Amino acid sequence: MHIEVETLPNFRIAYLRQVGPYGPANMQVMEKLKSWARANDLLTESAILFAIPQDNPETTRPESCRFDACIVIPHDDPLDGVIAESEFAGGKYVICKVKHTAEDIQKAWVEIIPALYIKGYQIDNKPMLERYTGELLNKGYCEICVPVL
């Protein structure tokens, strides 16, 4: 597994939240976010999207799991009342580029944490996430980002 370390900056994000079991509903909320972003001329080749599972499904009941579909937005753009706004707190992340298929992403999630511990990384207490850009998606990839100390 090839990994790189990157310091992500703070970003202003627009997001939609799904509460419930992780699965198909997460993809639906991401599609809803992309529709909103497209309508607001934000879904471009250079757009940065995040899929952020806020809870560990091994320790949180499925009906209480929170999932945020996010897009980075300019600091000065006003938002309509349809979508929520927040700040993504950047920091040091281990980045693992994976093929953008359900199978490859699931496999990477299973393998990445043990691999990071073996390499001596300490996981930070921030949400792990998937990062998507137009450029990566056009090449069939996305990135899993794990916060580290």
Query: CATH number of the domain that 48 lies in?
Result: 3.20.80.10
pLDDT digits (tens, 9 = 90+) for 28-57: 999 999 999 999 999 888 899 999 999 988
Residue 97's domain spans which residues? 3-147
pTM for the model: 0.89
Segment 126-149 shows an average pLDDT of: 90
- Residue pair 142/98 in contact (Cβ under 8 Å)? The answer is yes
Split into its structural domains, the chain has a count of: 1
pLDDT of the residue at 145: 96
